[in-house]
Amino acid sequence: MWFVFLILALWQPDTADAAGENVNGPEFNVLCHIVNLANAEKMEDVKTNDLEAQATKAWEEISNIFTVTENDTYYAEGPTAIPSSATEESNAKKARVEAWVKKRQDVKNQNEEGSTTAKKYVRKSRSDMRLDTQHKLDKFFITASKLQGQIASTQSQIDAKEQIRKKALRTALIGGTRDGTGQKTTADVEAFSASYATGCAGSNVHGKSLANDLVCLCGATTSTVAITLKMCTSVIAAGGYTQDIGTAANALTVYGKPQPICAKTTETEDATPEAITEAIAAFTGALGRHTGLTSATNNGGYVLGKGEDNAAECTGGAGSQQSYVNYHGVITTGQAKPLTTAIAWLRQLAVARTALNARRKLTQQKEKEQARVISLADKMHELYQEALHGELPITKEATSQPQTTPDLEKQKVCEKYTNKTACQANSCKWSGTAQTKGKCEAKTLEEEKKSQGT
């Protein structure tokens, strides 16, 4: 984990450094990485390249093929927009059908790729295709339609997880109640406590935000100059500052000094589950790293940064190495609890990590659904060719249909007979009113069978 390597690289032995320069350097770097991660809101792109576009095009192809191969009612009016048990208003139906006809015409007007004349889709009526082909077209379209609904539902869940992730990171960074939609809010006084004592030194409200704790680690309780940041970094804040952090308003102003230094000097990671896990591990490793504080509360085991070895180890006197964050109150109050529950901004990081893990799984699920739609598009193309070029089977009714017209050669023979007796004697039928008034005609196959008793 690169966060841990960072701490080891910056680790310093405890010395009586009167100036206290960079004594909180490792802790500052840890917080800087986390502040940058939360502030940037960069998120890994876990989507497969071009799969979104492929799936969209596949569904369009499926829909177009179904349009030109559906029954005449569907082709004329499109899918009904209301339940069959309800009555559609005439104006609504008119508008729906007009929109459908335009869509249908757009489909018909599409040309084959690379051609300016050959049409991509040709209307094929259901009455002109095999029954099994019709059933398969319906089945694949219904399956693809359901998949489209599943994809939309999965995307909605992904969007919800992204909102949770943003809300958690924003709340971790600047505290308060933040929104996961829209542009992120800049830091305000809600991110900070009312005084150094309540926000940094041992009560139960410190840890309310990363911004608050960054100021606690590097700020001071008395008016000062640019070199106050020397406990955290050798980079001098532009213009210096003279505000102490005795009030939330002053703390907000002071936050504008170390935060830009973090952005310039520390890498900004994507917000991934792995990066957040490493951030939590790095923070945990840095917590209480200064040993030998035998007179400090809990021997300094729950502090971030170095204070003095006495009961008032954290008073915000930067010059005397007393600027740091004491998490003793939130960790030891009540029942034992993990750090990700005790410290507010760390808890929000855990929420963001959970949301990111869920988002990753949902994205993988969506990709599987999209891959199925792409596969169905290939099958629909095959069915379309089958519908266009498949021959209708010879039906049983067609093979057993009785012959309704006589044989032409037999007809010519029968026409030679001019009286009823000769006509009937030669297996023909006489159509007339007298022996010699009428016409001799050939019998149909069915009439021949009846006359022969078969």
Say whether pLDDT at 96 is over 50. Answer: yes
Phi-psi region of 299 (alpha: psi -120 to 50; beta: other; left: phi over 0): left
Residue 36: per-residue pLDDT: 96
pLDDT digits (tens, 9 = 90+) for 400-409: 445 455 566 7
Let me know: does 281 contact 5? Beta carbons within 8 Å: no
Q: Model confidence at 50, in pLDDT bands (50, 70, 90)? A: confident
Q: What percent of the chain shows pLDDT beyond 90?
A: 39
Higher pLDDT: 218 or 366? It is: 366
pLDDT digits (tens, 9 = 90+) for 147-203: 999 999 999 999 999 999 999 999 999 998 899 998 888 999 999 988 877 888 765
Q: Model confidence at 227, in pLDDT bands (50, 70, 90)? A: low
CA nearest to 319, candidates 231, 260, 393, 242: 231
Higher pLDDT: 335 or 355? It is: 355
Give how far Cα 186 sits from Cα of 178, 349, 406, Å: 10, 18, 95
pLDDT digits (tens, 9 = 90+) for 321-334: 567 888 888 888 87
Say whether pLDDT at 242 is over 70. Answer: no
Which contiguous run of DSSP H or E holds residue 440?
Answer: strand 438-441
DSSP 303: E
Backbone φ and ψ for 451, nearest 5 degrees, come out as -70, -25
Q: Model confidence at 18, in pLDDT bands (50, 70, 90)? A: very low
pLDDT digits (tens, 9 = 90+) for 265-288: 888 999 999 999 999 999 999 988
Say whether pLDDT at 373 is over 90. Answer: yes
Task: State whether residue 345 is helix, strand or coil.
Answer: helix
Residue 398: per-residue pLDDT: 44
Q: What percent of the chain shows pLDDT beyond 70?
A: 82
Task: State whether residue 439 is helix, strand or coil.
Answer: strand
Higher pLDDT: 115 or 352? It is: 352
Residue 10: per-residue pLDDT: 47
Say whether pLDDT at 65 is over 80. Answer: yes
Q: Model confidence at 9, in pLDDT bands (50, 70, 90)? A: very low
Report how far residue 348's alpha carbon sits from residue 352's, in angstroms, rounded to the nearest whole number: 6
Q: What is the pTM of this model?
A: 0.76
Strand partners, 441: 429
CB burial string 155-173: b at 16+ within 10 A, e below? eebbeebbebbbbbbbbbb
The sign of the torsion formed by the CA atoms of 226, 230, 232, 236 equals positive
Higher pLDDT: 243 or 434? It is: 434
Strand partners, 119: 111
Residue 83: per-residue pLDDT: 57
Task: Look at strands 325-326 and 303-304 and give their pairing.
Answer: antiparallel
Let me know: does 119 contact 112? Beta carbons within 8 Å: yes
